[in-house]
Amino acid sequence: MSCLGFFLRNIALLFLSLAVSAFVIELALRFSGFEPRVLEANRFFAEDDGTTWSEPDGELGWVNKPGVAISIEHGNAPMTFWDHGRRATRPDSDAESKKRPIMIVGGSNAQSYGVVDRESFPFLLAQRFPELWIENFGNGGYSTAQALLMAERAVPNFYRNARPELIILTFADSHVARNVSDQSWVYSISDSEGRFVSPPHYRLKNGELVFRPFRTIEPWVFETSSAMVTLIHHIWMQSIQFNSGGDGVAVTQRILSRFATFADQVGANFLVVILEDRSQVSAEVFDDAEFPVLDCSGFAREAPADYLLGGTGHPNARLHSHFSMCVASWMASNIDVQENSENP
């Protein structure tokens, strides 16, 4: 046999051995309960669905879509959204530029997912303080990083004639993982085609913040038909690509510092309101914070059946009422406002 024939024969045997080994591993994984990746569309992002409250955005990942969306949580509340990614805070969307502007920004708790408009804490605040022009730019699933991007967009594009007097940023402990796009967060969200996504976030490199833009994570070749490829991809994501949770607190603190600087640059006061802190990480996150921090959390952790939709979902009307009273108390003491006596 010629040298070339010998070489080709060995190459063929090698590929055959690899193919047999891969087949055996695939069978073993299937028998052990592992399955190929199934692409499941996110109901929040599905197109032409009454429960879809969002639309794609190349910079932010997604924003609230103008119109009415139906919550998929207990009560199936209709939720009204306006342009610029705003949730309704009054009966109509006309800007109230003659009043004192207040911006609220954050994730789904700010967005007030799952309750009707009039039960959301930003709507309640607008009723309590009729001299204020309150706009709610909260978007479901947002991190602190995305909330900052939203604020940086809204100030020049929406508040063209009157800059916000106060920027209220809502915080939940889950934002710590979101701010670094940790695998625990990436695995929980998908787009309208069922692909994982990594929202805009920050990482630490040589002690400095490095911004990483929104990206879609395509399935690997054969991932939707092979449990082995799916497992390898998951190991890669969990151990290397999105193993970033350890930097979550440090990154979050630096983003918050940037947020406070941004508010100062546009002439706004800055307030962080903690609405959810089940892991009780906020004490570490806000240690030595140089801006006001108001903790309105606790009830959902202590009595979820009383304060969460269905006992497990987002804050219900009762908890939103608490949020509004908590924030209103701070506002009455710090920004010189007059409460509406009919909405105590």
Provide the pLDDT confidence category of residue 216 given band limits of 50, 70 and 90. very high
Q: 80 and 15 share a domain?
A: no
Q: 29 and 128 share a domain?
A: no
Give the three-class secondary structure for 73. Answer: coil
Q: 15 and 85 share a domain?
A: no
Q: What is the pLDDT of residue 211?
A: 97
CA distances from 333 to 82, 119, 170, 171 (A): 30, 23, 19, 21
| pLDDT over threshold 60, residue 6 | no
Q: 8 and 115 share a domain?
A: no
Q: What is the pTM of this model?
A: 0.92
How many separate domains does the chain show?
2
Q: 236 and 286 share a domain?
A: yes
End-to-end Cα spacing for the chain = 96
Gap between the Cα atoms of 343 and 322, Å rounded: 14
Output the average pLDDT for the chain.
91
Q: What is the pLDDT of residue 344?
A: 47
Bridge partners of 82, per DSSP, are 86
Q: 16 and 109 share a domain?
A: no
| pLDDT over threshold 90, residue 147 | yes
pLDDT more than 90, % of the chain: 75
Q: 183 and 331 share a domain?
A: yes
Q: What is the pLDDT of residue 93?
A: 83
| pLDDT over threshold 90, residue 248 | yes
Q: What is the pLDDT of residue 40?
A: 86
Q: 173 and 142 share a domain?
A: yes
What are the pLDDT digits (tens) for 97-119?
Answer: 679 999 999 999 999 999 999 99
Gap between the Cα atoms of 342 and 281, Å rounded: 37
Q: 14 and 132 share a domain?
A: no
Q: What is the pLDDT of residue 28?
A: 81
**Domain extent for 9:** 1-33
221 alpha-carbon distance from chain centroid:
29
Provide the pLDDT confidence category of residue 14 given band limits of 50, 70 and 90. low
Q: 111 and 233 share a domain?
A: yes
Q: 120 and 17 share a domain?
A: no
Q: What is the DSSP string of 231-256?
A: HHHHHHIIIIIT--GGGHHHHHHHHH
74 residue type, one letter:
H
Q: What is the DSSP string of 56-87?
A: EETTTEEEEPSEEEE-SSTT--EEEEEGGGEE
Which residues does 165 contact at the CB level (< 8 Å), separation at least 6?
A: 100, 101, 102, 268, 269, 335
